[in-house]
A and B are shown apart, each in its own frame.
Chain A
């Protein structure tokens, strides 16, 4: 699918407007009416498609969409009201002024609404996986089918996660304008986590279609930028996340070629996007304020080391080893241990890398993943323990989630 014919800035007009429209209308009509709001946004976009194609596009497409959607909602509510007058005694008086001019909110107000909605969706009563699905659907404008393709989960599962989030939001009847800075502060880690998941789901995805991998990263970038422009989100940690996003965006196109996924060591570094790397470095500089260091700071600095290294061999592995050690203390995860083992193998010896894995307390979920077997096999090959390596390669290939990963593993191990 190509958007090359779309004029500049219009490539994602509908999808990007979707989230701000939903959020602005939730602010106006309440979270209780989210289904009606989402349906109406879709209807007004379908109408826009017909009308804009037949004549010219209005100067302010977003304002046009807001006004049309507003009227759809109003007429649906009126119809509803006639049917259940008693239930709607407390109607907002504005609903009754039939021909009142509807003013679309300003751009700043729309992104403020979008951000408030994002913070509301990241409430602790909602599981992380549901937060992610809700954000992708209601704020990024992806359909259930598109989310299912991007997260490698079934459509039924997407529905389930979305509905859980929605039910919880409706039950607690959140009001966008009632969320305080203190509450926002508390939810910041969850907000970052959702953005981080969008980034990694996109960047590490083994989806064969680059646009599909790219658009999750670009959504993370769009929301992170809105976040850092808002007083709630203007923080060093947000800049660190933005830096990480840009370091990854700079390299994403070289992560695959016609043959499939490409390993870091084999990527064509001269094709990395230098402008993106420069942007990432300026975000990294902005992140270096305050006195606390987050996992995003460390991950961004690891990405920076890779992006600035002339070649895989000339990478400053000692810095990467140190960064992974720090990362393990800030955000303990056996995945970081695995990465540290690989960095140690480059910096010291494969034996030293293997030793780290042998000493580690590896949880069973990781021991059932292809990652674990692949890293183990790689290090065993390099320590000339071929018999064990072959066994582990086969296990890794068996457990690999997609043909692309299987191909990558075959390609990786064929060098030994």
Chain B
């Protein structure tokens, strides 16, 4: 399981050219590691709610410094391989973005 975290705050919008480049990088990365990528997962919106025993806190959570922005499922025979796949991914190339890799334990 890969959890993508991004720093919140205003950043300059990418230009169409930047987006073309990013899209090309995504596609290249995906096709290179298609055996490792189980599920590209999805983006998580900043709207939502946090529920605990004291009640419900509604989003958006813009006041938080870091937001979980997406998730994705990888398969790899070791953590080392998973690290290598993620290190060259276009997502971590964006400044302010980090990806946490956690193994889903199976019984």
Which A residues have a C-beta under 8 Å from some C-beta of B? 1, 3, 5-7, 10-15, 17-18, 42, 45-46, 48-55, 141-143, 145-146
CB of A141 within 8 A of CB of B23, answer no
**A48 CB to nearest B CB, Å:** 8
CB of A13 within 8 A of CB of B26, answer no
Q: Which residues of A contact B25 (CB under 8 A)?
A: 5
Q: Is the interface of A mostly helix, strand, loop or mixed?
A: helix
A12-B20, A50-B43, A141-B16 provided; 13 other pairs, C-beta below 8 A? A5-B25, A5-B28, A6-B24, A11-B24, A13-B20, A13-B23, A14-B23, A42-B13, A45-B16, A46-B14, A46-B19, A49-B23, A145-B15
Q: Which residues of A contact B27 (CB under 8 A)?
A: 5-7, 53
Residues 6-49 (chain B) with a chain A CB within 8 angstroms: 13-28, 30, 40-43
Nearest to A15 among chain B residues (CB) is B16
Known: A1-B21, A3-B21. A53 touches B26 (CB 8 A): yes
Q: Which residues of A contact B43 (CB under 8 A)?
A: 50-51, 54
Known: A46-B13, A54-B41, A143-B15. A15 touches B26 (CB 8 A): no
Q: Which residues of A contact B42 (CB under 8 A)?
A: 54
**A166 CB to nearest B CB, Å:** 17
Which B residues have a C-beta under 8 Å from some C-beta of A? 13-28, 30, 40-43, 70
Q: Which residues of B contact A45 (CB under 8 A)?
A: 16, 19
Closest 6 A/B residue pairs (Cβ): A143-B15, A5-B28, A14-B16, A6-B24, A53-B26, A141-B16
- Max chain A CB contacts within 10 Å: which of B14, B23, B25? B23
**B47 CB to nearest A CB, Å:** 14
**B59 CB to nearest A CB, Å:** 18
Complex CA gap A3/B21 in Å reads: 7
Nearest to A43 among chain B residues (CB) is B13
Complex CA gap A55/B21 in Å reads: 18
**A391 CB to nearest B CB, Å:** 44
CB of B21 within 8 A of CB of A53, answer no
Q: Which residues of A contact B23 (CB under 8 A)?
A: 6, 10, 13-14, 49, 52-53
Q: List 11 A-B contacts (CB under 8 A).
A: A3-B20, A5-B24, A5-B27, A46-B14, A49-B19, A49-B23, A53-B26, A53-B30, A54-B42, A141-B17, A146-B15
Complex CA gap A387/B85 in Å reads: 65
